[in-house]
Amino acid sequence: MRVISLVPSLTETVAVSAPGALVGATDWCSHPADLDVPRVGGTKNPDLDRILALAPDLVIANEEENRAPDLDALRAAGVKVLVTEVREVPQAFRELARVLAACGADPRPRWLAEAEAAWSAPVPGPRGTVVVPIWRRPWMVLGRDTFAGDVLDRLGFTNVYATHAERYPRVPVAELNDAAPDLVVLPDEPYRFTAEDGPEAFPGLPCVLVSGRHLTWYGPSLATAPGALAEALRAARR
The last residue of a domain, from among 108, 139, 172: 108
* Ranges of the chain with pLDDT below 70: 124-126
What contacts 74, CB < 8 A, 6 or more positions away?
48, 51, 52, 59, 81
Residue 14 lies in a domain: yes
**Same domain flag for 157 and 225:** yes
| pLDDT confidence of residue 195 | 97
Number of domains present in the structure of the chain: 2
Dihedral sign for Cα 7, 12, 13, 19, please.
positive
Is residue 161, in this structure, part of any structural domain at all?
Answer: yes
Cβ-Cβ contacts under 8 Å for 91 (sequence gap 6 or more)? 85
Distances (CA, A) of 17 to 104, 158, 161, 220: 10, 33, 36, 9
Do 10 and 82 reside in the same domain of the chain? Answer: yes
pLDDT for position 125 = 65
Query: For 146-186, what is each residue's pLDDT tens digit?
Result: 999 999 999 999 999 999 999 999 999 999 999 999 999 99
Question: Are 49 and 140 in a shared domain?
Answer: no
Whole domain around residue 102: which residue ranges? Answer: 3-108
Q: So what's the pLDDT on residue 126?
A: 67
Confirm whether 118 is domain-assigned: no
Q: Is residue 83 part of a domain?
A: yes
